[in-house]
A and B are shown apart, each in its own frame.
Chain A
Amino acid sequence: MSDEQTFLDKLQARNAVRGDEPTWITARRQAGAARFEAVGFPHKRVEDWKYTDIRSISRGDFELTDNAEFSPATAAALTLPIDALRLTFVDGVFSRSLSDLNSLPEGVSIEPLSQALEANHEAVGGALGRLAGIDFSPFTALNTAFTEEGAVIRLAAGTVVDKPIIVQFLSRANDRPVMSHPRVLVEAGGRSEATVIEHHAGEAEAANFTNLVSEIMLDRGAILSYYKLQEAPVGDLHISSLHAEQGRDSRFTSFNLTLGGALVRNDLVADLNAEGAETQYNGLFFVRGRQHVDNHTLVNHNAPRTYSNESYKGILDDRARGVFNGKVMVKRDSQQIEAYQNNANLLLSDRAEIDTKPELEIYADDVKCSHGATTGQLDEEAVYALRTRGIDEQMARGLLTLAFAGEVMEQVQVDAIAERVELAVAGKLPERFNLAGLVESASALGEE
């Protein structure tokens, strides 16, 4: 039996027990399944998957689950300590008890997808799948076929949300690995402002497969910060597509921070469709052991006078492998655009590997575009300089690694997230905020 058939059989079994649903959903499911069956899982001969082997997924046997039981104590430990509006999913299943949706501010609607569909399926149907269609990748097709649950966030025009909105995905250590195909849908109305945090975490022994599709629509003048903190257990497999569509003068800031997961693949697409739209892509991945992280980003400058800036930093240790593929596409007549892209990588081990490809595809002439990619290691002289100040070697390396990540981390506005990442990168540090000066002086000494 082919790898694809295993998944299609699971789908059929699921469909058999599914209750009535609107016909358009059934039709989409069928279209997704047909597309997936036609193209199959990607392999390494496909340019977009050249460096990432997904056989751990395609050859896996994943169950679907219906219960959202999770130890409250473990959940509490994993949850970001932030006063926030919160939606929680356990292996893709909505958990009301771990969510906090009381006292939603006016103009804000946050609900699980199943509930949104039940309440008014037509309102959701138009937006769902509009940006991330079944032809984007075999995984979006697969997700479309299995779509059941997810998060639907709607902000009315002019709404400014003070509290961050957290969409939390918890992975459970199951007897048999499970899969989930969640959706995230964010519709930010004109001039609305919000911070959304997509957080992945779980029990240490978990080994589940998450296939996420996120669609984010920013209307005119909307400002949205979207954090993705990937702290999934090191056995988890994770595929995600995040598509943003930007209206005039909108600003989309993405933080893609990867610490966990055995295999993590992120596809990010931003469509800058009207003048004044701005995209900021920030990324950091810190992987060890045999972790594999693959970030594919694409910025489409579809309109003149649009701006994008991208900065991705990779830190790889042990036998970890990182992939960065950043593409900036400037369409014909998209004049007077600025697009910058940078990818810097730090290899901490001889067995780690990074494959990076920053691409520019430009069909307009009045543009300012640049990209850069570097790969290197810690400056031994800076390590020495720190050690002469009485800092032990491990700490010195941690500090310098942290300094490397600094450019991206400085942009992080949510302290709880910054602390988690810093802790992972540099180990337990005495104080967060007096480090910068120390590192700076050490680097300066190293340069002398």
Chain B
Amino acid sequence: MASEEMEQLVRREYTQGFVTDIESDTVPPGLDENTIAFISRKKGEPEWMLEWRLEAYRQWLKMTTPSWAHLNYPPIDYQAISYYSAPKKPEDRPQSLDEVDPKLLETYEKLGIPLHERAALAGVAVDAVFDSVSVTTTFKDKLAEAGVIFCSISEAIREYPELVKQYLGSVVPQGDNFFAALNSAVFTDGSFVYVPEGVTCPMELSTYFRINASNTGQFERTLIICDKQAQVSYLEGCTAPMRDENQLHAAVVELVALEDAKIKYSTVQNWYPGDEDGKGGIYNFVTKRGDCRGDRSHISWTQVETGSAITWKYPSCMLRGKDSTGEFYSVAVTNGRQQADTGTKMIHIGENTRSTIVSKGISAGRANQSYRGLVKVGPRARNARNFTQCDSLLIGDTCGAHTYPYQEIGNSSAMVEHEATTSKIGEDQLFYCQSRGISEEDAVNMIVNGFCKDVFQELPMEFAVEAEALLNVTLEGSVG
């Protein structure tokens, strides 16, 4: 393929980069116990929550940034970050879309996410997070009817303190890792979902995260609890405007599945990856973990990662309940100077636990991508099963693709399989398509989409469409 096309692709502008001018209530950069107290007060949190945050902060102070990932970035100055930013007048939260700041709606329009339309068409309740405070929640009544609690984590802390106290930090403890500790200390918002016993959530829940105010770290905290025999599917999608300074994102997502519960968590992540020199992209350090606490429970992670300058993310499953199952489906695309170190951990603790890992990595330009995964089978996890497939596709000769799968097997009845391949789009494959009248562009799309098919089919309908579009935009014309 013509190299100009490749050039063109590499130089392509981030089409969703723009800044909406909304006055933010932002604290000066810096982090100490006062900042945390400010956040807690701003959120109207009870005393125990502040204590919890401070405990996390004190642990964080003793920790050092992890250095084991295959990533290269300058040290982050945590004192140069502002830890709180909220749209003005948090008390006057709009009750319906009409009350929402028109500029915000405009932002969503530009993103191609017409909130009302999407909500109406797809029957999706949207807890839209603009910067740090949830500004609108739809279909709340319908959810309330089913007994499902879907609100911002701040609201949950105020309204459902018992549930929050019981579950917050029970999957990802405050001192779990450097970024989780930081998040625990300063998280400003995120979603809270509780699906009561026996309830199948009547619609797919969705939150759109969006980073807006410049120089503001985004620290989301999501907690989803699925009680016995309950089911929920949760969608998370992200885009961000163009910025020059690197923005830090350190989210924590905790999932708890009790007996026979099912949680499906899907992510499309398309944050700003930085310019062609890798400048200005989002740093994405995320801790996501699901706890299959009850017997026969099920947690499934599906992710499509196309954005961010740096991705450090390992959605994991603790398979504690007997016969519980964990799944991880991932497509990660890196281009330009993007770096991704991502994968999963499947910790088999209970008997007859099963897990599946399918990871597809596509690396182009000067990007580097690593799959890093752990499958651990404990001594009591009799008959545990794991199947792992991770494939990498390299586009261009200046990118890198790496695989670091860890297996720690301590049980003779375990069956664990790992397979990985690395290859490029074959000249013969392209030739075959072209000889049948398919343009090179389309052929590449077909091959790449075919490569990712195993993952895309796990996504909910509306996300699958978005994901395929994202992938095509990201990679069109990049094969030569």
A354 with B394, Cβ < 8 A, contacts A360-B422, A370-B421, A376-B414 known? no
- Cβ of A102 to closest chain B Cβ, rounded Å: 49
25 contacts between A and B (CB under 8 A): A51-B408, A332-B397, A332-B398, A350-B413, A352-B412, A353-B410, A354-B407, A355-B406, A355-B407, A356-B407, A358-B405, A359-B404, A361-B402, A364-B397, A365-B394, A366-B397, A366-B424, A368-B423, A369-B421, A370-B420, A371-B418, A373-B405, A373-B417, A373-B418, A375-B407
- Contact residues in B for A345 (Cβ distance below 8 Å): 409
- Contact residues in B for A358 (Cβ distance below 8 Å): 403, 405, 418, 420
- Contact residues in B for A368 (Cβ distance below 8 Å): 422-423
Cβ-neighbour of A372 out of B396, B413, B418 (below 8 A): B418
Contacting pair A353 B408 (CB below 8 A): yes
List the B residue with the shortest CB-CB distance to A377: B412
A347 with B414, Cβ < 8 A, contacts A353-B408, A355-B409, A371-B403 known? yes
Q: How far is the CA of A99 from the CA of B172 in the complex (A)?
A: 62
A357 with B406, Cβ < 8 A, contacts A347-B414, A350-B379 known? yes
- Cβ of A410 to closest chain B Cβ, rounded Å: 22
Q: How far is the CA of A271 from the CA of B42 in the complex (A)?
A: 60
- Contact residues in B for A370 (Cβ distance below 8 Å): 419-422
Q: How far is the CA of A366 from the CA of B392 in the complex (A)?
A: 12
List the B residue with the shortest CB-CB distance to A354: B409
Max count, chain B CB within 10 A of own CB: residue among A47, A360, A361: A360
- On A, residues with C-beta under 8 Å from B are 47, 51, 332-333, 335, 345, 347-377
- Contact residues in A for B405 (Cβ distance below 8 Å): 357-359, 373
Contacting pair B401 A357 (CB below 8 A): no
- Cβ of A7 to closest chain B Cβ, rounded Å: 29
A367 with B394, Cβ < 8 A, contacts A362-B400, A375-B409 known? yes
Cβ-neighbour of A376 out of B399, B415, B424 (below 8 A): B415
Contacting pair A374 B404 (CB below 8 A): no
A347 with B411, Cβ < 8 A, contacts A47-B68, A372-B417 known? yes
- Contact residues in B for A352 (Cβ distance below 8 Å): 410, 412
Flag whether B416 is at the interface (Cβ < 8 A).
Answer: yes
- Cβ of B396 to closest chain A Cβ, rounded Å: 6
Contacting pair B414 A375 (CB below 8 A): yes
- Cβ of A126 to closest chain B Cβ, rounded Å: 35
Q: How far is the CA of A371 from the CA of B422 in the complex (A)?
A: 9
Contacting pair A361 B400 (CB below 8 A): yes
List the A residue with the shortest CB-CB distance to B423: A368
A347 with B407, Cβ < 8 A, contacts A332-B398, A361-B402 known? no
- Contact residues in A for B411 (Cβ distance below 8 Å): 347, 350
Q: Contacts A358-B403, A377-B415 given; 14 further ones with Cβ under 8 A? A: A47-B68, A347-B414, A350-B379, A350-B412, A354-B409, A358-B418, A359-B403, A364-B397, A365-B394, A367-B422, A373-B407, A373-B416, A374-B418, A375-B415
What are the nearest 3 A-B pairs in CB distance? Answer: A347-B412, A365-B394, A369-B422
List the A residue with the shortest CB-CB distance to B368: A363
Flag whether B395 is at the interface (Cβ < 8 A).
Answer: yes
- Cβ of B444 to closest chain A Cβ, rounded Å: 14
Cβ-neighbour of A362 out of B409, B418, B422 (below 8 A): B422
- Cβ of B360 to closest chain A Cβ, rounded Å: 14
A367 with B420, Cβ < 8 A, contacts A355-B406, A359-B403, A375-B409 known? no
Q: How far is the CA of A79 from the CA of B402 in the complex (A)?
A: 43
Contacting pair B401 A360 (CB below 8 A): yes
- On B, residues with C-beta under 8 Å from A are 68, 379, 392, 394-424
- Contact residues in B for A347 (Cβ distance below 8 Å): 409, 411-412, 414
- Cβ of A354 to closest chain B Cβ, rounded Å: 5
A365 with B420, Cβ < 8 A, contacts A351-B379, A377-B412 known? no
Contacting pair A353 B409 (CB below 8 A): yes
- Contact residues in A for B422 (Cβ distance below 8 Å): 360, 362, 367-370
List the A residue with the shortest CB-CB distance to B377: A375
- Cβ of B422 to closest chain A Cβ, rounded Å: 4
A349 with B407, Cβ < 8 A, contacts A358-B420, A362-B400 known? no
Max count, chain A CB within 10 A of own CB: residue among B379, B398, B422, B423: B422
Q: How far is the CA of A347 from the CA of B397 in the complex (A)?
A: 40
Cβ-neighbour of B392 out of A47, A362, A375 (below 8 A): A362
- Contact residues in A for B408 (Cβ distance below 8 Å): 51, 353-355
A365 with B406, Cβ < 8 A, contacts A372-B420, A376-B415 known? no
List the B residue with the shortest CB-CB distance to A321: B410
- Contact residues in A for B401 (Cβ distance below 8 Å): 360, 362
Q: How far is the CA of A335 from the CA of B394 in the complex (A)?
A: 12
Contacting pair A372 B419 (CB below 8 A): yes
- Cβ of A4 to closest chain B Cβ, rounded Å: 24
Q: How far is the CA of A365 from the CA of B403 in the complex (A)?
A: 15
Q: How far is the CA of A385 from the CA of B43 in the complex (A)?
A: 68
List the B residue with the shortest CB-CB distance to A363: B400
- Cβ of B379 to closest chain A Cβ, rounded Å: 6
List the A residue with the shortest CB-CB distance to B415: A376
Contacting pair B397 A360 (CB below 8 A): no
List the A residue with the shortest CB-CB distance to B393: A365
Cβ-neighbour of A335 out of B397, B417, B419, B420 (below 8 A): B397
Contacting pair B416 A376 (CB below 8 A): yes
Q: How far is the CA of A33 from the CA of B399 in the complex (A)?
A: 40
Q: How far is the CA of A435 from the CA of B124 in the complex (A)?
A: 63
- Cβ of B13 to closest chain A Cβ, rounded Å: 25
A365 with B407, Cβ < 8 A, contacts A47-B68, A375-B414, A376-B416 known? no
List the A residue with the shortest CB-CB distance to B402: A361
Q: How far is the CA of A369 from the CA of B406 in the complex (A)?
A: 18
- Cβ of B63 to closest chain A Cβ, rounded Å: 14
Max count, chain A CB within 10 A of own CB: residue among B402, B409, B417, B421: B409
A348 with B419, Cβ < 8 A, contacts A357-B404, A360-B402 known? no
Contacting pair A348 B412 (CB below 8 A): yes
List the B residue with the shortest CB-CB distance to A358: B405
Max count, chain A CB within 10 A of own CB: residue among B399, B412, B415, B421: B412
- Cβ of A184 to closest chain B Cβ, rounded Å: 31
Q: How far is the CA of A23 from the CA of B422 in the complex (A)?
A: 49
- Contact residues in A for B397 (Cβ distance below 8 Å): 332-333, 335, 364-366
